[in-house]
Amino acid sequence: MKILKSWLKEYIDFDLTDQELADALSLSGTAVDDFQSTLDDKVIIAEIREVSPHPNADRLRIAKVWTGEEELQIVCGAPNIEAGQIVPLALVGANLGEDFVIKKAEIRGVESFGMLCAADELGLGADHAGIMILDASWTVGKTLNSYIESDTVFDVEITPNRGDELSHLGVARELRALLKKELKAEKVLPELKAGNEGLSIKIENPELCMQYHGIKIKNIKIGESPEWLKKRVEACGSRSINNIVDITNYIMLDMGQPMHAFDAKKVKEGIIVRKAHENEDLVTLDGSVRALNEDMLVIADEHDAIALAGVMGGANSEIEADTTEIILECAEFERRSIRKTAKTLNLSTDASYRYERGIDSGALVKAISKATSLILELAGGEVSSDLVSVASPRVVEIAELNYEKINALCGLKLKNEEIDKILLGLGFAIEKDHVVVPSWRHDVSIWQDLAEEVSRIYGLNNIPKASIPVTAAPAKSPYYFKEFIKDILVDEGFSEVYGYAFMSEQDLKVLGDSADDLIEVANPVQPEIKYLRKSLIPGILKAVAKNPTFDQVLIFEVGHAFTKKEENVYLTIATSGKQAKKEIEAAVMKIADTAKIDAKLFNVRELTAAEVERFKIKKLVTCVAEIDMDVLVEAMKKTDLNPEIKEYTKNIHYRPLSKYPSLTRDLAFLVNADISSSEVGDLIYSISDHINRVELFDEFASDKLGAGKKNIAYHLYLQDMNKTMVDADANDIIKKVVDAVEEKFEAKFRDK
């Protein structure tokens, strides 16, 4: 939701920078995602030093402008510029709204490095007659917004429990509590005569419509809204339609109260709030025909539905250019019912959004009075009915107030008065052992809710920190055994992969199995991928196929697999390449030895040619194995093994993958035996961003190499993000690497 600073300031005075305001709101639960000043910081105060004619255009001139740091050349078309003037300058990069960003330009063959601005271009009025001439005393180089107050638009994310904040008044109330200030006194609205004259309102379902207030206004003139109204409504993301519709939107943005205006001439007799009839249709304002059902609440006249209550108005009662009399609606509907209707029709509107989250049930008369007063002011006309109100008695919410419990849960030691002060600031009334919840809050019912209020206004980051008592570690859970197995595989040269739990019909074929015992997803992302995997094998084979550039693929996954009967954790291993069979057997044997189980339980098998073909694996031999992790863990528990988890401390140099072909180079060095191969690896990485990966593949000491010497050898994977890696570039990088390693580690490059 968009919140304007200028609008907030109508409700409360504050002296915070935009960043401070954003932080204060965010920390207390009103997340400010972003904010933007209507006067960009890149619009600065500048001095015109020289004006000369443009060589190729009569109407244009070239100004030399001093920014306080440098002189810029600006091409300008305004007639009123002269040397010596102080003017607003939009620098390259300045955002003047609606995606109008100043760029360096060439205008009729002359370069221009910014724009001198007229008032309208800065949103400071309608004046486009010439460049704004500023006060000569303003400091050149400062931002314009340090002299002219600019507005700021805050993009605020309101959590579902805080419907009360879906308005400027709501956010201002929040600031009142945070800043410990009072709201400004509001203008007193002329009182409307309450009664039943001139408009009939009937509520058939008071459980779904707790209150409905209506008033008729005649002799109005539909027209464009004044500039200030348009600007506000538009800055908040609504489209300006006409004065009446804009005013109802304005009240919603101002107070959070959705409102609607009907063309009174199109409403036969009075207003009836009722459930829709079976097979009833309504064409809503967006032109869609809505098929209604008996669960939906509508606003109707004697004959037809004229609005979908709390969601959208009907086309049959729409305000048009020739409308002269309106019925203004201001109502409260039951939250769940609105939510259900909006969901069923897949029609979420600003109104339904607010109703679902709860409106201020104590402010409806004020909202309709404010709207009426604005309409009379901006569209003329006169009130032609009483203010007719049909309302059930309002249910007052209370919550237990227990200072001790609140302090205990928050880890605070606040005095009762301090807690009172916070709650009073938020609009709660305090009565001995409970609070009365303000009419705009629908999310407070238990003392823990009050603890949240206290903690967020006191400030979570101000709460004293305390440690929890340390207790003895419980017995090692299966997790530890699982990780222990992973370490064995990593030691054997295997890499861990993560796959997806989903499986397609096609994958089933590989398993040579039926779908009988598979769990089916009711709403899959893609219709054909609708099963949950019962085995990790199809997934791991896809991973094998993903790696055509590796001669040898050694991978494993530990993951959940599902059937209608049970959920299991499987360990699945795949090897691919010339030695695949030997490698998988060695790995399985290692695990079997550790767990003291029969290696046969792993079901090692080599893929058939058909399977290899189906998965597009381009290697000679591919093998898989799969075992239920429970079997392994149970077996391991019977041994005297105490699985500790290992931390991996290697330095990670992440480089994104290029989509272009890469090159592999092997390098070997002779170094002193005490040199760490990983330190050499780190240095190699640092030489070039084109080095995607450095993999140590050989490290040995031998007498043949000389006493105290060893050989270390690396695969280097070289890539270029923008093109295919070519030999010439690779050679340059390799040369730099060799020089650096030789110099830093007194190494000797071992050329083949």
Partner 1 sequence: MKSQGTLHPVTQTVRKAVMFFEKLGFDVFEGPEVDTEWYNFDALNVASDHPSRDTQDTFWLKDGRLLRTQTSNSQVRYGEGKTPPIKVIVPGVCYRNESTDAGHETTFLQLEGLYIDKGVHLGQLIKILEDFYKYTYGDDVKIRFQTGHFPFTEPSVEFYARFKNKWFELGGAGMVHPKVIENMGLDPKIYSGFAFGPGIERPIMVKYGIQDIRPFRLGDLRFLKQF
Binders of partner 1 in range 529-588 (CB under 8 A)? 532, 539-540, 542-544, 546-547, 549-550, 552-555, 559-560, 562, 564, 567, 569
Q: How far is the CB of 746 from partner 1 (least distance, A)?
A: 23
Q: Is 376 in the site for partner 1 (CB under 8 A)?
A: no
Return the structure tokens found at 707.
């006493």
Per the rule left: phi > 0, alpha: psi between -120 and 50, beta: everything else, 325 is beta
Binding partner 1 (rule: CB under 8 A), the pick from 79, 288, 479, 661 is 479
- CB contact at 8 A, 657 and 736: no
Binding partner 1 (rule: CB under 8 A), the pick from 357, 370, 619, 690 is 357
Binding partner 1 (rule: CB under 8 A), the pick from 16, 490, 668, 683 is 490
Binding partner 1 (rule: CB under 8 A), the pick from 404, 516, 528, 700 is 700
Binding partner 1 (rule: CB under 8 A), the pick from 98, 498, 565, 640 is 498
Q: How far is the CB of 298 from partner 1 (least distance, A)?
A: 20
Kindly tell me which of 128 and 336 has the beta carbon lying closer to partner 1: 336
Binders of partner 1 among residues 315 to 354 (CB under 8 A) are 336, 339-340
Mapped onto helix, strand or coil, the DSSP state of residue 2 is: strand
Which of these ranges, 146-154, 265-273, 473-481, 734-742, lies near partner 1 under the rule CB under 8 A? 473-481
Binding partner 1 (rule: CB under 8 A), the pick from 84, 237, 500, 723 is 500
Q: Which amino acid makes up residue 44?
A: I
Nearest Cα residue to 19 out of 176, 150, 173, 152: 152
DSSP letters, 52-81, are EEETTEEEEEEEEEE-SS-EEEEEE--TT-
Q: Is 508 in the site for partner 1 (CB under 8 A)?
A: no
Binding partner 1 (rule: CB under 8 A), the pick from 192, 409, 599, 631 is 409
CA separation for the pair 416, 403 (Å, rounded) = 6
Binders of partner 1 among residues 278 to 297 (CB under 8 A) are none
Binders of partner 1 among residues 422 to 451 (CB under 8 A) are 446, 448-449, 451
Binding partner 1 (rule: CB under 8 A), the pick from 2, 162, 176, 442 is 162
- CB contact at 8 A, 534 and 544: no
Q: Is 466 in the site for partner 1 (CB under 8 A)?
A: yes
Q: How far is the CB of 338 from partner 1 (least distance, A)?
A: 11
Helical packing angle, 629-638 and 580-595, nearest 10°: 50
Binding partner 1 (rule: CB under 8 A), the pick from 83, 291, 396, 408 is 408
CA separation for the pair 23, 32 (Å, rounded) = 8
Which residues have a Cβ under 8 Å from the Cβ of 360 and sit 6 or more positions away?
A: 164, 255, 256, 257, 439, 440
Q: Is 468 in the site for partner 1 (CB under 8 A)?
A: yes
Q: How far is the CB of 594 from partner 1 (least distance, A)?
A: 16
Q: Is 699 in the site for partner 1 (CB under 8 A)?
A: yes
CA separation for the pair 548, 550 (Å, rounded) = 6
Return the structure tokens found at 351.
């109104």
Return the structure tokens found at 585.
């057997």
Q: Is 452 in the site for partner 1 (CB under 8 A)?
A: yes
Q: Is 477 in the site for partner 1 (CB under 8 A)?
A: yes
Nearest Cα residue to 436 out of 489, 466, 408, 397: 397
Which of these ranges, 203-211, 247-255, 431-439, 453-461, lies near partner 1 under the rule CB under 8 A? 453-461
Torsion sign across C-alpha atoms 306, 391, 168, 354: negative
Q: How far is the CB of 501 from partner 1 (least distance, A)?
A: 7
Which of these ranges, 23-31, 58-66, 86-94, 588-596, lies near partner 1 under the rule CB under 8 A? 23-31
182 to 151, 178, 357, 455: CA distances (angstroms): 22, 11, 26, 21
